[in-house]
Structure 1
Amino acid sequence: MNAMIDAVRTEALFLSYVQRSQQPSADIIREAVTDTVHRLGEDRCAELVAQEFGEHPDCAPDRMRWARTAVRLAFH
């Protein structure tokens, strides 16, 4: 179950307005994740992440790696 929740959180952060260059705090990350999931829903997050990987295969993997690491730090 934890892996599934982390996956949704990672997708939501990936889609959020938060940028790695901002060096966001754990609070900002949690707020962005919550806002994005409430705004888009879990299924729509997955759809949009897939779309981003299709449209921007050059930069999407780096953002996803950052989002995964940021979610681990902010939520665990």
Structure 2
Amino acid sequence: MTICPVDPVLCMALFVSEAPKTSLDDKTVRETVDRTLEQLGPDECYARAAEVFGDRPDVALDRIQWARELCARALAPSLSGAADR
């Protein structure tokens, strides 16, 4: 099991967003996470994620792995990339 170096709510926001499961660039990931959290808030993101995991665990597992990978790349704190954001 890998550990996601970002706040889990950020991953949940991407997970429940309307973003297609494609390779999004870092800027799009950040914008999507910000927009989703602004629209839904953290509690609703978690509630929607729980619903997907309950109804479609096969789909949910693949999508959360995708969201975690993209968030880790786009949102993880790093010394080298922090000034670029």
TM-score range, shorter chain: 0.7 to 0.9
Structure 1 length normalisation: TM-score? Answer: 0.87
After the TM superposition, which residues 6-45 of structure 1 pair with which residues of structure 2 at under 5 Å, given as runs? 6-21=7-22, 23-45=23-45
Identical aligned pairs, as a percentage?
36
Structure having the larger proportion of residues in helix: 1
Cα RMSD between the aligned structures?
1.3
- Could you tell me which runs of 5 or more consecutive residues in structure 1 were left unpaired when the two chains were aligned: none
Residue 46 of structure 2 aligns with an amino acid whose one-letter code is: A
Matched residue pairs, number? Answer: 72
List structure 1 runs of 4+ shifted beyond 6 angstroms. Answer: none
Q: Deviations over 1:10-56 (max 9, x none)?
A: 000001121222x2100000000000000000011111100010111
Structure 2 length normalisation: TM-score? Answer: 0.79
